[in-house]
Structures are given as structure tokens and as C-alpha cells.
Amino acid sequence: MLTYHFGYGEDRATIRRGKRLRPQIAMRTALAEGAPLERVLDAAAAVEMLHNYSLVHDDIEDRDELRHGRRTLWNIYGVAQAINAGDAMCAISFLTLMRASERLEGARVLEMVRVLHEAHRVMCEGQALDLQFERATQVDLAAYHHMIACKTGKLFEAAFVLGALAASTSPDDVARYAELGRAYGRAFQIRDDVLGIWASTDATGKVTGNDLARRKWTFPVVWALAQQPSAARSTVADAYAAGEALDAPTVTRVVDALISLGAQQAAERAIAEPMAVVRRHPDAALRTYLLGTLG
């Protein structure tokens, strides 16, 4: 089941795998801090496995039948085996991380294990909030930012911090990487939210308006509902007030309303500050990579 989830044994030319952002970040951070790659490989694999364990469980919780065009684990093996396979992937993630003790001193590995478990705990908090949002009639910007900081930001933060810890970076520099991770996570998620409404299927694998059809509380929607009363705001509010999936004509109306309200520009403004944190990072190679992933 785990091999299937990762798409191993399938045609590399046609399969759409994930972008491996988190292990890339862990590895590039360690390299930026002057560490040989071997010191960070266990942590990089661990953070990717923890992320994928969360995807296996999220797919069950969200009832998603496809991921990157392939059937999800629960869709093939059933909910019971898929929950348990995710649990196993969580255990294997940490067992992999602990193999770093062959290369790093014990105290450092223990700190890395603590960092990844804390990320695990906070991700669960974010997912609990995201699940609550499904039934909410209103989500404000503060709640939205807290949710994405927990659900998305915390594991990105952990990826940077694990890379820095693997490189024996000083505590002050680890704290700076944690800040970079939080900023990157915020920019990444808001961009992802914009793509979830306006991306074309070809470029990203996302379907235009898909997050609206699923009535997800993404940045453009939450921001739009925080604006002064207007016809466009009412269009969005009414569509979300029904508490059900949006049909195709409603999605089109909401997309137009979001455009007329200026939600895309609002998203750009919202990521200006975190993007500035990324642009200020001193290592050119890491900075270039990060900006590339943010489009």
C-alpha cells in the first residue's frame, strides 16, 4: 500500500508524483549551511513520509477519490486498511529520522525527533480546524491564518529546521530558518489557494474553480467575506451560506465576484510580507529555489 501511494513501480514518464518540496527544502537548507548531503538524508526522507502519511489520512477525511489522477489508498484498499497504512507510514517516518543517529550526535537527533513530533501535533490541530471549517457558516481571516499556519506552515517550518539542525547551525540561525519556514508556508498556501480557483488543469493538475465547487474556505473567499457589503460580496456569501457543494453556474458567478472584488490582488498583498522574508534570505541557491516554487 505504501509503495502504491508513492507510485513506485509505475512508469516514471507518465506518473504525476508530488513535488517533494519538503525534502528539497531540508536538503537545500543543510547545503546552504555547509553540511554534506549525507547528514540530512534521513531527515529529508522522514519529513516527506510524514507529509505523505498526512495526505493518506486527509484523503480519507475529505473523501477524495483521486490524487494526481490516481486512485487514493482508501479508494482501493478501503478506509480501515488505509487508516492503518497511514499510521504505519507515520511510524516509519520517525524510525527513518532516528537512523540519523548513525551520523549525528544523539542530542541533535533527539531535538530533530522532537521538532518533527511537534510539527505532527500542530498539523493535527490544523486539520481539526480545517474539518470544522467544512461546516462553518463563517470563517474570519484570523481563523484562516491560524489554520494554514498549523496545517501547512508548521511542516515547512520543520523541514527548514531539520535541515539547519542536521548542519549543526547555531540556535539563532535555527530560529531564523523557523521564521523563514513560517513565511514560506504562508506564501505557499495562499498561492495554492489562488491556483485552486484560477489555475488551468494542464499546468498544475488542479481543476479551475475546484476549491469553490468543494466549498473550501480558501484565502480569496475568506478575504471577500471580510469586505464591506456589496453585490459581489453577497454573491460569495450566499453561495457559501447554503452549506453545500457549489454547482457549476454558482462557481462561475463566485469566480466573477471574486475578480470584481479584487481577491487576486488581495492575495498578492497578503503574501508580500512573507515573500519579502524569502527574498531577504542570504543564500542565493536556496532563495532562488524557494522563489521558483512560489511561481
The residues that touch its own copies, with contacts defined as CB under 8 A, are 57, 60-62, 79-81, 83-85, 87-88, 90-92, 94-95, 98, 101, 106-107, 109-110, 113-114, 117-118, 120-121, 124-125, 127-128, 131
Task: Pick between residue 150 and residue 254 the one whose CB is nearest to its own copies.
Answer: 150
Residue 229 Cβ, how far from its own copies at the closest point, in Å? 34
Nearest to 223 by CA among 210, 213, 211, 237: 237
Residue 96 Cβ, how far from its own copies at the closest point, in Å? 10
Please write down the long-range contacts of 45-49, taking CB distance under 8 Å and 24 or more positions apart. Answer: 45/96, 46/93, 46/94, 46/96, 46/97, 46/116, 46/162, 47/22, 47/23, 47/93, 47/116, 47/155, 47/158, 47/159, 47/162, 48/20, 48/22, 48/23, 49/89, 49/90, 49/92, 49/93, 49/96
Q: What three-state secondary structure class fits 108?
A: helix
Residue 100 Cβ, how far from its own copies at the closest point, in Å? 10
Q: Residue 47 and residue 168: Cα distance in Å, rounded? A: 18
φ and ψ of 100, to 5 deg: -60, -20
Q: What three-state secondary structure class fits 227?
A: coil
Residue 282 Cβ, how far from its own copies at the closest point, in Å? 31
Task: Pick between residue 31 and residue 113 the one whose CB is nearest to its own copies.
Answer: 113
Q: Residue 191 and residue 264: Cα distance in Å, rounded? A: 10
Task: Pick between residue 118 and residue 283 the one whose CB is nearest to its own copies.
Answer: 118
Residue 49 Cβ, how far from its own copies at the closest point, in Å? 12
Task: Pick between residue 60 and residue 246 the one whose CB is nearest to its own copies.
Answer: 60
Q: Assign residue 216 a region (left: φ > 0; alpha: ψ between -120 and 50; beta: otherwise).
A: beta
Cell numbers found for residue 154: 508548521
Residue 13 Cβ, how far from its own copies at the closest point, in Å? 32
Task: Pick between residue 20 and residue 121 the one whose CB is nearest to its own copies.
Answer: 121
Residue 8 Cβ, how far from its own copies at the closest point, in Å? 18
Residue 35 Cβ, how far from its own copies at the closest point, in Å? 20
What is the CA 73 to chain-centroid distance, rounded?
A: 19
Task: Specify the DSSP class assigned to residue 38.
Answer: G
Task: Pick between residue 43 and residue 90 the one whose CB is nearest to its own copies.
Answer: 90
Q: Is 219 exposed, middle or buried (0-12, 13-18, 19+ CB in 10 A)?
A: buried
Task: Pick between residue 84 and residue 200 the one whose CB is nearest to its own copies.
Answer: 84
Task: Pick between residue 92 and residue 143 the one whose CB is nearest to its own copies.
Answer: 92
Pair 211, 196: CB distance under 8 Å: yes
Q: Residue 175 and residue 183: Cα distance in Å, rounded? A: 13
